[in-house]
């Protein structure tokens, strides 16, 4: 009997130890959910977490982005060429009209993700054209990849033999998110699980389970898209409204410029079209600071439970690693503070 009791006690202690370890691990696990409209910067934030809190991108991983970068570059110049007709802009040199036709033909015949010399030569010539540049300056009037200028200005570097994408090249690349992307990393003695459900937004039943046990929702918006409408936006706004008014966990709202072009587009837009065109009740100055803060307040005002939960906001640039690092450090401190509050220790 004594030996049997001793074995049971040992097993019980081991079980208690295991349960305590699991409980401690769960207590240190932070589940983050990224929400926001398409092309708001969610995927860029996920890439930044890999750079900042993991090992970054290996040489092999960087090389895998070459095809994406070339495809982004080609799609960008094609979008500008198409907009030339839509906006009725004349090419600076008549010869560039022929180049535009050649561009469209090559785009249909080359292997996707490649950049043969004939194609890069045409793109370089088109990009120098004054008409193309005038069309690019009006990018707010049509849909254009926000990294278009970055890649097109640097195309000569991108086509050099032995080209290896830099971290900035990788951050600015754009590929449509498909499925649910989970990124895990550790920071400040916490284990983070970050979910981007951008590629599954239309199939709610496939991703709604991601909301279970969420510690924090990070809602991302691009201020430069204040006057744009996407098919998916209604669903995003409904989710934002719902969780602002019902959830009990922390909500972080990030007003986001994916990069400096977004800032420039926003500045250009408010110069041409007063914010009151989209927000009739706005009667403040049409400046970057005032208009930006007003849009931010529109989101913060959706919080119907501000007596018990605060929505924290940050304005950042998703392609600026140091800036994102600083903001995420502040985000983590907020999460720690909220957890301490929930435990009655703050």
205 in a known ligand binding site: no
> How far from the centroid of its chain's Cα atoms is residue 236's Cα?
14
Query: Among 174, 316, 319, 338, which one carries the catalytic annotation?
Result: 174
Output the six-digit token pair for 135: 């069309």
| Residue 44 annotated as catalytic | yes
Known catalytic residue: 200?
A: yes
Does the annotation flag 200 for ligand binding? yes
Token duo for residue 176:
């449509």
Which is catalytic among the residues 73, 96, 183, 200?
200
The set of residues, in sequence order, having a beta carbon less than 8 Å from that of 122 and lying 6+ positions away, is: 99, 102, 103, 106
| Residue 41 marked ligand-binding | yes
Q: How far apart are CA 80 and CA 84, in angstroms?
A: 6
Q: Is 175 annotated as a binding residue?
A: yes
Q: Is the separation of the CB atoms in 252 and 312 below 8 Å? A: yes
197 is in an annotated binding site: yes
Q: According to the annotation, is 173 in a ligand binding site?
A: yes
Residue 198 in marked binding region: yes
Q: How far apart are CA 175 and CA 35, in angstroms?
A: 17
Q: Does 177 belong to an annotated binding site?
A: yes
Residue 34, C-beta contacts closer than 8 angstroms, at least 6 positions apart: 42, 45, 46, 194, 195, 196, 197, 198, 218, 220
Q: Per the residue annotation, which of 48, 96, 129, 196 is the catalytic one?
A: 196
Which one from 39, 129, 169, 338 is the annotated catalytic residue?
A: 39
Does 147 appear as a known binding residue? yes
- Asked if residue 213 belongs to a known ligand binding site, the reply is no
Which helix (H) or strand (E) segment holds residue 111: the answer is none
Annotated binding site for GTP: 39-44, 146-147, 171-177, 196-200, 318
Active site residues: 39, 44, 174, 196, 200
Annotated binding site for Mg(2+): 43, 177
Annotated binding site: 39-44, 146-147, 171-177, 196-200, 318
């Amino acid at each position: 009997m004594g030996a049997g009791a001793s074995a049971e006690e040992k097993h019980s202690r081991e079980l208690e130890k295991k349960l305590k370890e699991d409980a401690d691990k769960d207590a240190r696990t932070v589940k983050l959910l990224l929400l926001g409209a398409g092309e708001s910067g969610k995927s860029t934030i996920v890439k930044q977490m890999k750079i900042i809190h993991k090992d970054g991108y290996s040489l092999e991983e960087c090389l895998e982005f070459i095809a994406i970068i070339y495809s982004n570059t080609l799609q960008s110049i094609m979008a500008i060429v198409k907009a030339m007709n839509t906006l009725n802009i004349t090419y600076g040199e008549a010869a560039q009209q022929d180049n535009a036709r050649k561009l469209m033909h090559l785009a249909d015949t080359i292997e996707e993700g490649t950049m043969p010399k004939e194609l890069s030569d045409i793109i370089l010539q088109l990009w120098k054209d004054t008409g193309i540049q005038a069309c690019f300056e009006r990018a707010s009037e049509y849909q254009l990849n926000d990294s278009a200028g970055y890649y097109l200005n640097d195309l000569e570097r991108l086509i050099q033999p032995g080209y290896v994408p830099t971290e900035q090249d990788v951050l600015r690349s754009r590929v449509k998110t498909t499925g649910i992307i989970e990124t895990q990393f550790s920071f400040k003695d916490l284990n983070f699980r970050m979910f981007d459900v951008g590629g599954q937004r239309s199939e709610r039943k496939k991703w709604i389970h991601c909301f279970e046990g969420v510690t924090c929702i990070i809602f991302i918006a691009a201020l430069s898209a204040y006057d744009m409408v996407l098919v998916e936006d209604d669903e995003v706004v409904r989710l934002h409204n719902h969780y602002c008014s019902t959830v009990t966990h922390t909500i972080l709202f990030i007003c986001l410029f994916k990069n400096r072009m977004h800032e420039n587009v926003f500045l250009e837009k408010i110069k041409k079209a007063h914010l009151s065109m989209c927000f009739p009740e706005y009667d403040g100055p049409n400046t970057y600071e005032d208009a930006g803060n007003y849009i931010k307040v529109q989101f913060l005002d959706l919080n119907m439970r501000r007596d018990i939960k605060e929505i924290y906001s940050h304005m950042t640039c998703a392609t600026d690693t140091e800036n994102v690092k600083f903001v995420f450090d502040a985000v983590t401190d907020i999460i720690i503070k909220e957890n301490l509050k929930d435990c009655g220790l703050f």
